[in-house]
């Protein structure tokens, strides 16, 4: 068969289309898989305040169960430490702090934050409260060893705020980098008392007692969550942050003693 120049071009074009069609179909199918629902195979790194350690481990397990293929890895620390990591460009996808001040200071590095929970402070004492501490004013006792979080840490700022409001002068034996470090000092008997979040004290009921502080003398801690602008998993990170405000995550937070946003 004789094929003209036009015929040859048409034949080549037809063969090319035939060869590319299956590839296009495969590409289309793969594209559908990637955009449908959660991003498959996503690994999320979430920077979270130390006071969320226990509850977020449970929340992470629940989230992974609901989102097969997604792995959530948490890095816990004082909110000020996490903020420093963000400013230094540490790779992460989302951030949850224990105060709005720290989050607001990262406005250019995050998406719009959403408060997912609230908390209050208690006085943590050794088991059985051997020093018979009943009020904030008791923390000024001369023979009492009190440990607080450093003033740049959210729980440290809250502690200073409520102590100043009651005109209680406390000279701490140490100032710790996060709330879990404060709790640990009391647990180990290295301090007679410390100011921690109610939810942290509830994780060590076999080692510490929690003395309630009246609401009128207390401070409310807010926990905002936001995606990070440097994330390489924007969709998956946004899904996780949104989930934290949903009924499943809120049920887990309430069970751990956190208050409604």
**What whole-number distance in Å separates Cα of residue 93 and Cα of residue 44?**
6
State whether 126 and 198 are in the same domain.
yes
- Say which range, 32-36, 73-77, 139-143, 218-222, has the weakest mean pLDDT: 32-36
| Res 33 pLDDT > 70 | no
State whether 137 and 216 are in the same domain.
yes
| Res 152 pLDDT > 50 | yes
State whether 103 and 142 are in the same domain.
no
| Res 35 pLDDT > 90 | no
Predicted model pTM: 0.83
Q: In the chain, how many domains are there?
A: 2
> Percent of the chain, pLDDT > 70?
84
Paired strand residues for 212: 122
pLDDT of residue 9: 40
State whether 124 and 214 are in the same domain.
yes
101: CB partners within 8 A, 6+ apart:
154, 157
- pLDDT confidence tier of residue 2, bands split at 50, 70 and 90: very low
pLDDT of residue 82: 98
pLDDT of residue 158: 98
Whether 159 and 195 have beta carbons less than 8 Å apart is answered as: yes
Tell whether 261 is covered by a domain. Answer: no
Tell whether 24 is covered by a domain. Answer: no
What is the arithmetic mean of pLDDT over 186-209? 97
105: CB partners within 8 A, 6+ apart:
83
pLDDT of residue 177: 97
Domain hosting residue 102, numbered range = 43-118+221-255
- pLDDT confidence tier of residue 4, bands split at 50, 70 and 90: very low
Tell whether 25 is covered by a domain. Answer: no
**What whole-number distance in Å separates Cα of residue 83 and Cα of residue 166?**
30
Mean pLDDT rounded to a whole number for the chain: 88
Tell whether 31 is covered by a domain. Answer: no
CATH for 106: 3.40.190.10
Tell whether 155 is covered by a domain. Answer: yes
Tell whether 20 is covered by a domain. Answer: no
State whether 76 and 143 are in the same domain.
no
135: CB partners within 8 A, 6+ apart:
211
**What whole-number distance in Å separates Cα of residue 56 and Cα of residue 96?**
10
156: CB partners within 8 A, 6+ apart:
148, 149, 150, 175
Residue scoring higher pLDDT (8 or 201) = 201
Tell whether 159 is covered by a domain. Answer: yes
pLDDT of residue 176: 98
Would you call 156 helix, strand, or coil by DSSP? Answer: helix
Residue scoring higher pLDDT (8 or 144) = 144
pLDDT of residue 80: 96
| Res 12 pLDDT > 80 | no
- pLDDT confidence tier of residue 40, bands split at 50, 70 and 90: low
pLDDT of residue 239: 97
State whether 113 and 230 are in the same domain.
yes
Tell whether 1 is covered by a domain. Answer: no
pLDDT tens for residues 85-128? 999 999 999 999 999 999 999 999 999 999 999 999 999 999 99
State whether 124 and 215 are in the same domain.
yes
State whether 199 and 151 are in the same domain.
yes
State whether 231 and 247 are in the same domain.
yes
State whether 106 and 47 are in the same domain.
yes
For 34-45, letters b (16+ CB in 10 Å) and e give eeeebbeebebb
State whether 111 and 147 are in the same domain.
no
pLDDT of residue 94: 98
Which pairs from 53-57 meet CB under 8 Å and 24+ separation? 53/180, 54/203, 54/256, 55/199, 55/252, 55/253, 55/256, 55/258, 56/96
State whether 108 and 158 are in the same domain.
no
């Amino acid at each position: 068969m004789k094929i003209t120049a036009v015929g040859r071009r048409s034949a080549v074009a037809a063969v090319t289309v035939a060869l590319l069609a299956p590839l296009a179909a495969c590409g289309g199918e793969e594209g559908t898989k990637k955009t449908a629902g959660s991003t498959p195979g996503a690994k999320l790194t979430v920077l979270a305040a130390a006071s969320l350690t226990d509850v977020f481990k449970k929340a992470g397990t629940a989230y992974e169960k609901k989102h097969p293929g997604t792995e959530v890895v948490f890095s816990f620390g004082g909110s000020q430490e996490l903020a420093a990591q963000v400013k230094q460009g540490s790779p992460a996808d989302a951030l949850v702090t224990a105060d709005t001040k720290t989050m607001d200071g990262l406005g250019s590095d995050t998406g719009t934050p959403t408060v997912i929970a609230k908390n209050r402070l208690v006085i943590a004492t050794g088991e059985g409260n051997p020093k018979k501490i009943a009020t904030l004013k008791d923390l000024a006792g001369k023979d009492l060893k009190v440990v607080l979080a450093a003033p740049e840490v959210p729980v440290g700022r809250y502690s200073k705020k409520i102590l100043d409001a009651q005109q209680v002068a406390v000279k701490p034996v140490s100032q710790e980098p996060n709330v879990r470090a404060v709790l640990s000092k009391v647990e180990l008997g290295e301090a007679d008392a410390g100011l921690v979040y109610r939810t942290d004290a509830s994780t060590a009921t076999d080692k510490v007692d929690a003395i309630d502080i009246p609401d009128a003398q207390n401070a409310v801690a807010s926990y905002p969550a936001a995606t990070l602008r440097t994330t390489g998993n924007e969709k998956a990170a946004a899904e996780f942050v949104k989930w934290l405000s949903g009924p499943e995550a809120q049920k887990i937070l309430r069970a751990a003693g956190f208050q409604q946003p």
